[in-house]
Structure 1
Amino acid sequence: MCGIDDSLPDNYYCAVRKDLIDLVPPGFRSVLEIGCGEGNNAAYLREKGATYIAGIELSCRHGEIAATRMDEIFIGSVEEDLPNWLLNREFDLVICGDVIEHLIDPWRTLERLRNVIPSSGYLVASIPNIRHYSVVKELVLRGRFQYVSSGLLDRTHLRFFTKREIIELLDNSQYKIINWSHSPISRRDSLISRITFGRFDGFLTYQYYVLAQKK
């Protein structure tokens, strides 16, 4: 499995997700980031108080870079058998930034991750919204559902979610949702949201951010 994603654009691996991390209450010390890319979140996580940061990354090339920035790295899939050093720890925070939609069985994976999260710990995730108007427009008006190299219809996405499906995914995996947020919307879309009293926000939201704890 190592290196299977090395053909993907480099922007898959380089983002710093302050927008997602800022959803988490302060106080976390140990962090596990699924799909950590090149480990560029590590510096910001340490600024926020993290003292131990581990990562799981599918790409060998980018995972080796992450190993220079994080405390420990497992290069492979989170859906594989994980090493004992990871399974025998607890993490105050588990990050799944743009990961869940790539998994074969996200339900089972989230259930397994519960074992490394203490009752006071958090799971934070960003998940694309397939209900976004750009997808609906192409599907309804043009009959197109065309995969592309990145974005909502990324060719490597195996699962698709709306807000309702995200709620069901977490509930069925025995998590309780603590907080919601979403990616920034344009000034035009913000105006539409205000005019329509939020009734069409499900079509305007590109990506949801969700903070959860174990039930």
Structure 2
Amino acid sequence: MDQTPAHDVHNPALLEFIPTNSKKIIEIGCSSGALAREFKTLSPDCDYLGVEIDAGYADLAKRYCDRSIVLNLEAATEDFWTEQSDRDCWIFGDVLEHFRDPWAILQRIRKVIPHSGCVVACIPNAQHWSLQAKLSIGDFRYEDMGLLDKTHLRWFTRQTLIEMFDQTGFQIENGRPLIYEEKNRDLFLPIIELMAKAAGADPQVSASDALPMQYVIRAIPKQ
């Protein structure tokens, strides 16, 4: 299956969550290398490794990464994990949801990451109001990009992404919901509140959790 189309636009929220004192970064799913380009302007001496499953994208990323390699992380050898054990920041920009087993990936990182390291990730929100609206009428159709990207294999909400990091040996030290102005949103939030109340949940929390398109988080190893 074709991967999500590459582009030269970086995620500024993701960039903000990368520690500027990071010395050895590894970005999984680096696409064209746009995020590397922006971070290297802030920290030019940082060693930045890009990892891509698509050879064409990896070639594009060479413009900005110190090095880029073609690799399916779920098929990485033990040698790879040993070689990357000094990486102090692992980046997943809308990537974890593309793995068959993102829990196993995070567990593997936890085994090798330095105690002072971190994982920075942007993850789509499956609880977004538009998905709830589509599901209510059976309109669940995959698209080339976005929340219903046809290459997504896993789905997360605020609650379940917190659980995933906790279960794999990390704690989220910082997080930010990415909320945009969206047409017709206010028509659906009262309905979402009613559904939450009927399900025995807090209506205001459920409506709030339906707003973000994505969550950006930074997680550190639990000590």
- TM-score, normalised to structure 2, is 0.82
Indicate the percent of aligned positions where both proteins have the same amino acid: 31
Q: 1:199 to 1:107 in 2, by over 3 A?
A: closer
> Residue by residue, what CA displacement relative to the aligned partner does 1:106-159 show, whole Å, maximum 9, x if unpaired?
00011112234211111010000011010101111x122111111111111000
* Runs of 5+ unmatched residues, structure 2: 190-202
Which amino acid in structure 1 is aligned with residue 54 of structure 2?
S
In structure 2, what is the Cα distance between the partners aligned to 1:85 and 1:113?
Answer: 11
Q: 1:30 to 1:112 in 2, by over 3 A?
A: same
Which amino acid in structure 2 is aligned with residue 29 of structure 1?
K
Q: 1:102 to 1:128 in 2, by over 3 A?
A: same
* Runs of 5+ unmatched residues, structure 1: none
- Contact 1:147–1:153, Cα closer than 8 Å, also in 2: yes
- TM-score, normalised to structure 1, is 0.85
Corresponding residue of 1:78: 73
Aligned length: 205
**What's the secondary structure of 2:30's corresponding residue?**
coil
Corresponding residue of 1:47: 41
Corresponding residue of 1:211: 218
Corresponding residue of 2:158: 163
Shift of 1:201: 1.5
After TM superposition, the structure 1 = structure 2 runs for residues 1-215 of structure 1, keeping only pairs within 5 Å, are 5=2, 8-11=4-7, 14-49=8-43, 50-82=45-77, 84=79, 87-89=82-84, 90-140=86-136, 142-186=137-181, 200-215=207-222
Which amino acid in structure 2 is aligned with residue 117 of structure 1?
I
Structure with the higher fraction of residues in helix conformation = 2
Q: 1:73 to 1:186 in 2, by over 3 A?
A: same
Shift of 1:24: 3.1
**What's the secondary structure of 1:96's corresponding residue?**
strand
Could you say what the CA RMSD is over the residues aligned between the two structures, in angstroms? 2.5
Which amino acid in structure 1 is aligned with residue 95 of structure 2?
V
In structure 2, what is the Cα distance between the partners aligned to 1:108 and 1:172?
Answer: 10
Which amino acid in structure 2 is aligned with residue 96 of structure 1?
F
